[in-house]
Chain A
Amino acid sequence: MIHKLKHIEELESESIYIIREVAAQFEKPALLFSGGKDSIVMYHIARKAFFPAKVPFPLLHIDTGHNFIETLDYRDNLMKQTGATCIVRCVQDTIDKGKAVEEKGYNASRNVLQTITLLDAIEEFKFDAAMGGGRRDEEKARAKERFFSHRDDFGQWDPKNQRPELWNIFNGKKRMGEHFRVFPLSNWTEMDIWQYIYSENIEMPSLYFTHERELIKRDGVLLANCPYIPLKESDEIITKKIRFRTIGDMTCTGAVESPAYTIEEIIKEVAISRVTERGGRWDDKRSDAAMEDRKKEGYF
Chain B
Amino acid sequence: MNEDAKMNSELIDKQSGYLNMELLRFTTAGSVDDGKSTLIGRLLYDSKAIFEDQLEAIEEASNRRGEEHLNLALLTDGLRAEREQGITIDVAYRYFATPKRKFIIADTPGHIQYTRNMVTGASTANVALILVDARLGVIEQTHRHAYIASLLRIPHLILCVNKMDLVDFNQDVFEKIKFQFHEFSKKLEISDVCFIPISAKNGDNVVGKSNKMPWYNDETLISLLENIPIEKDEDINDARFPVQYIIRPQSDEYHDYRGYAGRIAGGVFKKGDNVLVLPSVIKTTINSIELNGKQLESAFVLQSVNITLTDDIDISRGDMIVKENNQPQMNQNIELMVCWLNEKPLISGGKYWVKHNTKDVRCVITDIVFKMDINNIEKNIEDKHIGLNDIAKIKIKTSKPLIFDPYTRNRITGSLILIDENTNETVGAGMIL
A residues in contact (CB < 8 Å) with B: 2-14, 16-17, 20-21, 23-24, 47-54, 136-137, 140-141, 143-144, 159-160, 162-169, 171, 173-175, 186-187, 189, 191-192, 195, 198-199, 264, 267-268, 271, 273-276, 279, 288-289, 292
Taking A2-B232, A14-B304 as known contacts, 10 extra A-B pairs with beta carbons closer than 8 A to each other, sorted by chain A number, are A3-B231, A20-B261, A52-B259, A136-B93, A144-B93, A164-B120, A166-B426, A191-B18, A275-B52, A279-B53
Q: Which of B73-81, B128-136, B219-227, B325-333 contacts A (4 or more CB under 8 A)?
A: B73-81
B280 at the interface (CB under 8 A from A): no
A-B contact pairs, 30 of them (CB 8 A): A3-B300, A4-B22, A4-B230, A4-B231, A6-B20, A6-B23, A12-B304, A24-B244, A24-B245, A49-B261, A50-B247, A52-B251, A53-B247, A53-B248, A54-B249, A136-B93, A136-B95, A159-B89, A160-B90, A163-B425, A163-B426, A167-B412, A169-B356, A169-B357, A171-B355, A173-B419, A195-B15, A264-B8, A271-B14, A275-B51
Across the interface, do A273 and B51 meet the contact criterion of CB distance under 8 Å? yes
When distances are taken between beta carbons in the complex, the residues of chain A under 8 Å from B248 are 53
When distances are taken between beta carbons in the complex, the residues of chain A under 8 Å from B426 are 163-166, 171
Nearest chain A CB to B411's CB is how many angstroms away?
7
Across the interface, do B92 and A175 meet the contact criterion of CB distance under 8 Å? no
When distances are taken between beta carbons in the complex, the residues of chain B under 8 Å from A165 are 120, 426
Nearest chain A CB to B235's CB is how many angstroms away?
12
When distances are taken between beta carbons in the complex, the residues of chain A under 8 Å from B94 are 137, 143
B291 at the interface (CB under 8 A from A): yes
- How distant is the Cα of A243 from the Cα of B338 in the complex, in angstroms? 52
B292 at the interface (CB under 8 A from A): yes
Across the interface, do A141 and B358 meet the contact criterion of CB distance under 8 Å? no
When distances are taken between beta carbons in the complex, the residues of chain A under 8 Å from B101 are 7
- How distant is the Cα of A171 from the Cα of B418 in the complex, in angstroms? 10
When distances are taken between beta carbons in the complex, the residues of chain B under 8 Å from A171 are 355, 417, 419, 424, 426
Across the interface, do A13 and B303 meet the contact criterion of CB distance under 8 Å? yes
Main secondary structure of the interface of B (DSSP, over half): mixed
Across the interface, do B245 and A20 meet the contact criterion of CB distance under 8 Å? yes
- How distant is the Cα of A176 from the Cα of B128 in the complex, in angstroms? 39
Across the interface, do B244 and A292 meet the contact criterion of CB distance under 8 Å? no
Mark interface residues in B94-118 (1 if CB within 8 Å of A CB, else 0). Answer: 1101000110100000000000110
Across the interface, do A3 and B358 meet the contact criterion of CB distance under 8 Å? no
Residue from the set B8, B77, B78, B257 with the largest chain A CB neighbour count within 10 Å: B78
B residues in contact (CB < 8 Å) with A: 7-8, 11-12, 14-15, 18-23, 51-54, 57, 61, 77-81, 83, 89-95, 97, 101-102, 104, 116-117, 119-120, 123-124, 230-232, 236, 244-245, 247-251, 253-254, 257, 259, 261-263, 268, 291-293, 300-304, 306, 317, 341, 353, 355-358, 411-412, 415-417, 419, 424-426, 429
Nearest chain A CB to B369's CB is how many angstroms away?
21
Across the interface, do B358 and A49 meet the contact criterion of CB distance under 8 Å? no
Across the interface, do A166 and B300 meet the contact criterion of CB distance under 8 Å? no
Which among B52, B232, B244, B251 is the interface contact of A21 at CB below 8 angstroms?
B244
Across the interface, do B79 and A166 meet the contact criterion of CB distance under 8 Å? no
- How distant is the Cα of A282 from the Cα of B20 in the complex, in angstroms? 36
- How distant is the Cα of A36 from the Cα of B124 in the complex, in angstroms? 30
When distances are taken between beta carbons in the complex, the residues of chain A under 8 Å from B51 are 273-276, 279
- How distant is the Cα of A51 from the Cα of B247 in the complex, in angstroms? 8
- How distant is the Cα of A141 from the Cα of B82 in the complex, in angstroms? 11
- How distant is the Cα of A244 from the Cα of B7 in the complex, in angstroms? 23
Given contacts A51-B293, A143-B92, A162-B90, contact A169 B416 (CB under 8 A): yes
Across the interface, do A5 and B302 meet the contact criterion of CB distance under 8 Å? yes
- How distant is the Cα of A162 from the Cα of B90 in the complex, in angstroms? 9
Given contacts A4-B231, A143-B93, contact A167 B415 (CB under 8 A): yes
Across the interface, do B23 and A7 meet the contact criterion of CB distance under 8 Å? yes
When distances are taken between beta carbons in the complex, the residues of chain B under 8 Å from A140 are 77-79
When distances are taken between beta carbons in the complex, the residues of chain A under 8 Å from B19 are 6, 8, 195, 199
Across the interface, do A164 and B303 meet the contact criterion of CB distance under 8 Å? no
- How distant is the Cα of A167 from the Cα of B106 in the complex, in angstroms? 12
Residue from the set B8, B245, B355 with the largest chain A CB neighbour count within 10 Å: B245
Across the interface, do A52 and B95 meet the contact criterion of CB distance under 8 Å? no
